[in-house]
Amino acid sequence: MSLLAVEDLSVEFRTRRGVARVLDRVSLGIERGQTLGVVGESGCGKSVTALAMLRLIASPPGRITGGRVHFDGRDLLALSEDEMRQVRGNRVSMIFQEPMTSLNPAYTVGDQIAESVRLHQGLTRREAIERAAQMLDAVSIPDPARRVHEYPHQFSGGMRQRVMIAMALACQPDLLVADEPTTALDVTVQAQIFDLISELREKTGTAVMLITHDMGAVAEMTDRVAVMYAGHVVESAAVADVLREPLHPYTRGLIACAPGARTVAPGQLLDEIPGTVPSLVERGAGCLFAERCAHVQPRCRAELPPHSEPAPGRTVMCWLHTQ
């Protein structure tokens, strides 16, 4: 049984211009110890998927309108709020894009790491601070015994992301969700953080869901990949298969603009694939990628393509591959 299986997850946001369907029947899965890359342009719904899985969507304006999130045999969407809190930060933890603002400026990093451990593992304050120091050591922060008593503003951006990782892994979760963990960091630091995540994953056996816009990072880090576009998973498969033979035209575009580099800026993708992401409020009947697609057929504009399975363990959502 998969560790995580998201099935037909749908999320809507109320906006001034109407209701935006931000996720439309998203399905993806992660096996124990595996790494899944979720890749796509900004606004494609990849972060919302992660937040919705943990039921962290602000409501209002957001709302989960359907689907299931099976985690370790339970549907997270059916849990009570209390049960859900025992999953967050304990079985599934998360790190975010902005290390500069993701830590509370009013508390020491030790307190913030210890808070998780005390909550989920019932350690005493002293034990928890000790664990926090061990975790800082594990994420290669020098002089952890001293730095555990320092405040976030005394750390650089890369160091803060290390603290976030330490915090996320302190309870030895089954799944780590990393939402664009390196986007806000310098190029050299990005590589260090990726290396750290890989290293810790091997050591602890934690499964990782890596959310990124960077195909290069996916190629290097992950076992499987799910490509998202405008709230849909348009293709999912083993990374090697996708790199060898991308099926969806959008995936092809993504790979074409990331020639082995992990340093593509977010805006650059948009330049390479013509056109922009369509409005999620006024969805047409057809494929949402049709306007930007080089292989567009009349059918694409009329009807949304189904998810087909051209090979075992591989799905794609495109009329080119339905036969």
Helices (H), 35-186: 46-53, 81-87, 109-121, 125-138, 144-147, 157-169
Q: Measuring CA to CA, which residue among 214, 222, 230 is closest to residue 268?
A: 214
Give the one residue of 6, 76, 103, 175 binding other proteins; rule: CB under 8 A: 103
Phi, psi of 65 (to 5 degrees): -100, -10
Structure tokens at 154: 């005394």
Q: Does 161 bind other proteins (CB under 8 A)?
A: no
The DSSP bridge partners found for residue 63 are 12
Least Cβ distance, residue 177 to other proteins (angstroms): 8
- Measured from the CB atom, is 113 or 237 closer to other proteins? 113
Structure tokens at 214: 């960077």
Least Cβ distance, residue 121 to other proteins (angstroms): 11
Q: Does 86 bind other proteins (CB under 8 A)?
A: yes
Tokens 């992950």 belong to residue: 222
Give the one residue of 105, 122, 259, 260 binding other proteins; rule: CB under 8 A: 105
Q: What is the DSSP string of 181-219?
A: TTTTS-HHHHHHHHHHHHHHHHHH--EEEEEES-HHHHH
CB-CB contact of 314 with 241 (8 Å): yes
Q: Does 147 bind other proteins (CB under 8 A)?
A: no
- Measured from the CB atom, is 54 or 269 closer to other proteins? 54
Q: Does 96 bind other proteins (CB under 8 A)?
A: yes
**Coil vs helix vs strand at 18:** strand
CB-CB contact of 52 with 64 (8 Å): yes
Q: Does 34 bind other proteins (CB under 8 A)?
A: no
Q: Does 237 bind other proteins (CB under 8 A)?
A: no
Least Cβ distance, residue 319 to other proteins (angstroms): 38
Pairing of strands 224-229, 35-39: parallel
- Measured from the CB atom, is 119 or 320 closer to other proteins? 119
Q: Does 101 bind other proteins (CB under 8 A)?
A: yes
Give the one residue of 41, 115, 180, 235 binding other proteins; rule: CB under 8 A: 115
Q: Does 94 bind other proteins (CB under 8 A)?
A: yes
- Measured from the CB atom, is 147 or 262 closer to other proteins? 147
Give the one residue of 54, 148, 159, 316 binding other proteins; rule: CB under 8 A: 54
Structure tokens at 274: 């013509």
**For binding to other proteins (CB under 8 A), which residues are involved?**
54, 56, 60, 85-90, 93-94, 96, 98, 101-106, 108, 115-116, 119-120, 151, 153, 164, 167
